[in-house]
Amino acid sequence: MPTGKEFTARGRDLSATGIRIIHSDRVATGQRIAMELTTVDEKQIVVIGRVQWCKPSEFGQDKIELGVKFLAFG
């Protein structure tokens, strides 16, 4: 992550252009983040993305959902 803060989160709604992330902390809209995604066959993919939206999650009171648009794959 550009800020240097690392966290583990669960991904949902993965597409070719972005992903929805379930997380415990709010992240500012517009912030660029670096992600390391793990595929079902345990391959690591590094992705740079931008937070498009951030809202309370339907998965629990202590959870936040982030909509992240992919910008680059490494």
User: What per-residue confidence (pLDDT) applies to 21?
Assistant: 92
DSSP 3-state of 73: strand
User: What per-residue confidence (pLDDT) applies to 47?
Assistant: 94
User: What per-residue confidence (pLDDT) applies to 3?
Assistant: 55
Cα(65)–Cα(72) distance, rounded to whole angstroms?
Answer: 21
User: What per-residue confidence (pLDDT) applies to 8?
Assistant: 79
Which stretch of DSSP H or E encloses residue 1?
none
Mind giving me the DSSP string for 12-63? ES--SSEEEEEESS---TT-EEEEEEE-TTS-EEEEEEEEEEEEE-TT-TT-
Structure-token pair, residue 13: 């709604």
Written as tens digits, the pLDDT of the chain (74 aa) is: 345 677 778 888 999 999 999 988 888 999 999 999 888 899 999 999 999 999 998 877 889 999 999 999 98
Taking the whole predicted model, whether its pTM rises above 0.85 is answered as no
